[in-house]
Amino acid sequence: MTTYLIQNAAILGGAPTDLLLRDGVVAEIGDGLSADGAEVVDGSGLVALPGLVDLHTHLREPGREDAETVLTGTQAAAMGGFTAVHAMANTEPVADTAGVVEQVWRLGREGGYCDVHPVGAVTVGLGGQQLAELGAMADSAARVRVFSDDGHCVDDAVLMRRALEYVKAFDGVVAQHAQEPRLTEGAQMNEGELSGRLGLTGWPAVAEEAIIARDCLLAAHVGSRLHVCHVSTAGSVEIVRDAKRKGVDVTAEACPHHLLLTDELATTYDPIYKVNPPLRSREDVEALRAGLADGTIDVVATDHAPHPHEDKDCEWAAAAFGMLGLETALSIVQETMVDPGLLDWAGVAERMSATPARIGRLAGQGRPIAVGEPANVVLYDPSVRRTVEPGESASLSRNTPYAGMELPGRVVATFLRGRATVLDGKLT
């Protein structure tokens, strides 16, 4: 295995130093290091962060290998600086058995680009009727700790209560896609003056907030751990802030697109901007940024949701919900949080590596860059600007809302346990 000597990289944006990655771990950190036979990587001007961990990725395999496979999705993840992703359960078949989660986990291992931690479905077939075999998935080789019906809300309060109770046995967490189904029937975009003007069925903030409030109460009642997927409204941030103040064991994520884009983009009627939950108002975007800065929102998760051309290249109402996210996440976080001074690089590492790893109960991921720790490291150049070219994506899909947009920063290298998955900005 190649030994890498990274010279003059700024760990968490601090003073430049050298790092020696050998035998899968960070072997040495210090100035003027040398090592016989090591491959030298010039880290000048680069920020070294712990390998990123995504709590919310759609890899589409099994079932929709035309949109993404475990291999292509993990390649996109590596290009984005990730060393671990949680693969959502809304595949075909649904990841609701030990067999399916083990298959996805194994495909990740075989690919070797990024650790894949399958999320188990909460209910059989995401049907919302009957609890899936949570214990069997937890005990499987995939060691599932995060359970979600993402794409669907576990709206039955009794089922949600049972799931929260059940996962306590193995320190699991239920990740809720908070969407009250009756309030969002046929919903297409954020409910507001604009949805009325565009003639698209509105998706009220309260449809998200009502479920989050209920679930915080349920989690408190049964003394369990709740995670809220893709928080998108100012009201949701307020509810989570309040619940945390009261001691509820709740964590929340925000997605890069909700930190940058607003519902104004729906005026284009271009379904590239159609996502669940929908893009919201400028005030919501500001509240999410503030919540992420003060720790109310614990993590940035991509909700990378690849869709093939035919599912997006149609009229708005018929198009699929979702957008790509893995390869642009760090750039969007730089643009929306770091450059405006809301978060420093240590804060980014916390929200994109350490905390998501802790929520997923991952060992060996989200660890600090320190001697003896697994060599999961990303080298990032915050000083460059690049124009997003969908054709250059490692993903099988092209549905990025940032096409043609100039974004700051570029992932130069990603190391997974000391092996380079990305070097010189390219997959190895």
Task: Tell me whether residue 419 is annotated as binding.
Answer: no
User: Helix 234-245 vs helix 282-294: angle between axes, to the nearest 10 degrees?
Assistant: 30
State the binding partner of 50 from Zn ion, ligand NCD, none, CB within 5 to 8 A by kind.
Answer: none
Residue 351 partner contact from Zn ion, ligand NCD, none using kind-dependent CB cut-offs of 5 to 8 Å: none
Positive or negative: CA dihedral 233, 299, 75, 149: negative
Nearer to Zn ion, 232 or 334 (CB): 232
**Strand partners for 6:** 19, 41
- Going by their DSSP bridges, the two strands 377-387 and 406-416 should be labelled as antiparallel
Least distance CB 231 / ligand NCD (angstroms)? 12
Say whether 303 is catalytic. yes
Least distance (Å) from ligand NCD to the CB of residue 348?
22
Nearest to ligand NCD of 83, 90 (CB atom): 90
Nearest distance from C-beta of residue 158 to ligand NCD, angstroms: 22
DSSP E strands, 24-153: 25-30, 39-42, 47-50, 52-57, 82-87, 115-118, 146-147
**Of ligand NCD, Zn ion, none, which one sits near residue 170, judging by CB under 5 to 8 A according to partner kind?**
none
DSSP letter at 131?
B
Given the residues 215, 303, 311, 381, the one annotated as active site: 303
User: Total binding residues for Zn ion by CB under 5 A?
Assistant: 3
321 marked among binding-site residues:
yes
Residues 262-321 that bind Zn ion (CB under 5 A): 303
Q: Give least dist CB 428 to ligand NCD, A.
A: 29
Are 421 and 113 in contact by the 8 Å Cβ rule? The answer is yes
Smallest separation, CB 373 to ligand NCD (Å)? 32
| 376 annotated ligand-binding residue | no
Q: Confirm or deny that 257 is annotated as ligand binding.
A: no
Q: Give 132 or 279: the residue with its C-beta nearer to ligand NCD.
A: 279
Question: By the 8 A CB rule, do 3 and 19 touch?
Answer: no
User: Which are the contacts of 99, defined by CB distance < 8 A and separation ≥ 6?
Assistant: none
Beta carbon of residue 229, minimum distance to ligand NCD (angstroms, whole number): 7
Are 405 and 388 a contacting pair, CB within 8 Å? yes
Report the residue closest to Zn ion, judged by CB: 177
**Binding interface with ligand NCD (CB under 6 A):** 58, 90, 150-151, 177, 275-276, 303, 305, 321-322
Please tell me whether 56 is known to bind a ligand: yes
Q: Is 150 in the site for Zn ion (CB under 5 A)?
A: yes
- CB distance 101 to 131 below 8 Å: no
Phi first, then psi, for residue 6 (nearest 5°) are: -95, 120
Beta carbon nearer to ligand NCD, 269 or 321: 321
Which does residue 275 touch among ligand NCD, Zn ion, none (CB within 5 to 8 A, set by kind)? ligand NCD
State yes or no: cis peptide before 93, omega within 30 of 0. Answer: yes
Binder of Zn ion out of 143, 145, 152, 177 (CB under 5 A): 177
Tokens read off for 156: 């039955």
Q: Residue 380 pairs with which residues in a beta bridge? A: 47, 411
Return the number of the residue (58 or 227) whose C-beta is nearest ligand NCD. Answer: 58
Q: Which is nearer to Zn ion, 150 or 298 (CB)?
A: 150
Bridge partners, 343 (sequence order): none
| Residues contacting 173, CB < 8 A, separation 6+ | 145, 146, 147, 167, 225, 226, 227, 251, 359, 360
**Ligand-binding site membership of 171 (annotated):** no
Burial group, residue 55, by CB count within 10 angstroms (0-12, 13-18, 19+): buried
Three-state DSSP class for residue 69: coil
What the block records as the tokens of 102 is 């083990």
At residue 416, what are phi and psi to the nearest 5 degrees?
Answer: -110, 110
Nearer to ligand NCD, 276 or 400 (CB): 276
Q: How far is the CB of 281 from ligand NCD (least distance, A)?
A: 18
90 binds, among Zn ion, ligand NCD, none (CB under 5 to 8 A by kind): ligand NCD
Residues that bind Zn ion (CB under 5 A): 150, 177, 303
Residues identified as active-site: 303
Known binding-site positions: 56, 58-60, 90, 150, 177, 230, 276, 303, 307, 321-322
Known binding-site positions for substrate: 58-60, 90, 276, 307, 321-322
